[in-house]
Copies of this chain bind each other. A is one copy, B any other.
């Protein structure tokens, strides 16, 4: 059993026999799946599911956000197939809108996107592989500026290479520095945001991790670096070799911040393991 794509057509073969097909046209932000058909002789054997899964896979239905519309008849089997794949009725069509599961990174980017304007000055205090730095550069736009720090020269090089490849070198730049020395690099009251990832970075070298000894001074310096209305975003990673000492120290610090000067938001993935990443946001008041 295999599916062959010919332009806008997906063809399902069993050996050399065509047993199903689906045409597939991109429309606006979504995909329109029409003329979905399985040879009646081969129905109720999982062929329809196999074909639909391949079509969805091929058109991004399992990664990131996606929107699909499916045209089907009205038989109970067709209804069951649509529902199995997360489609729900929408007028004459079936609609499937996939929104990715919330993640710590996605949540942080959503929050920053909603609270920052192009043209700002953004700081990535722990740039690692440069993912957040690139995101901040795109948010800052040509009129903005992004400064990225990392203790490891390799991370700095990777980030600068990533920015260059993305054509963002005029906006952002990574330099080798301990984030505890943030105050020497960023003028007080100048930053619209400072972003941290604390602990070890998933997928990176787990023998290297941040510790409260440098992260507490770094967070204090970051708050001083923020202008009124600015945002500190800190994702706390715990577990593994660094345990949860740093997470608890930072949480205690955040919780004790005076309510007249700061709003602190801690977003917990409450049915995940206690070591789940913990996105925290601190907004500096001022006017």
Q: Which residue of B110, B227, B270 is within 8 Å of A251 (Cβ)?
A: B270
Contacts of A264-287 to chain B: CB distance below 8 A: 264-272, 280-281, 283, 285-287
Copies in the complex: 2
Contacts of A186 in B (CB 8 A): none
Contacts of A236-272 to chain B: CB distance below 8 A: 251, 254-259, 262-272
Closest B residue to A111 by beta carbon equals B110
Q: Is the interface of A mostly helix, strand, loop or mixed?
A: mixed
Chain-B contact segment, one of A32-40, A112-120, A132-140, A176-184: A112-120
Known contacts A258-B271, A263-B269, A268-B268; is-contact A117 B227 (Cβ 8 Å): no
Contacts of A43-76 to chain B: CB distance below 8 A: 62, 67
Contact: B229 with A254, CB < 8 Å? no
Contact: A271 with B259, CB < 8 Å? yes
User: What count of chain A residues pass the 8 Å CB interface test?
Assistant: 52
Contact: B254 with A263, CB < 8 Å? no
Contact: A229 with B268, CB < 8 Å? no
Contacts of A287 in B (CB 8 A): 62, 85-86, 96, 98
A14 on the B face (CB < 8 A): no
A259 to B85, CA, bound (A): 19
Chain B min CB distance to A73 (Å): 20
Q: Which residue of B102, B256, B265 is within 8 Å of A269 (Cβ)?
A: B265
Known contacts A86-B227, A269-B265, A271-B255; is-contact A97 B110 (Cβ 8 Å): no
Chain B min CB distance to A91 (Å): 8
A101 on the B face (CB < 8 A): yes
16 residue pairs A–B, Cβ–Cβ below 8 Å: A67-B117, A86-B228, A88-B189, A88-B227, A98-B229, A99-B115, A99-B283, A101-B285, A110-B110, A254-B270, A254-B271, A255-B271, A259-B272, A262-B271, A263-B272, A266-B270
Interface residues, chain A, with chain B CB atoms under 8 Å away: 62, 67, 83, 85-86, 88, 90, 95-99, 101-102, 107, 110-111, 114-115, 117, 119-120, 189-190, 192, 227-229, 251, 254-259, 262-272, 280-281, 283, 285-287
Known: A90-B119, A266-B270. 10 other contacts (CB 8 A): A86-B228, A86-B287, A88-B227, A97-B229, A107-B265, A254-B271, A257-B271, A259-B271, A259-B272, A264-B270
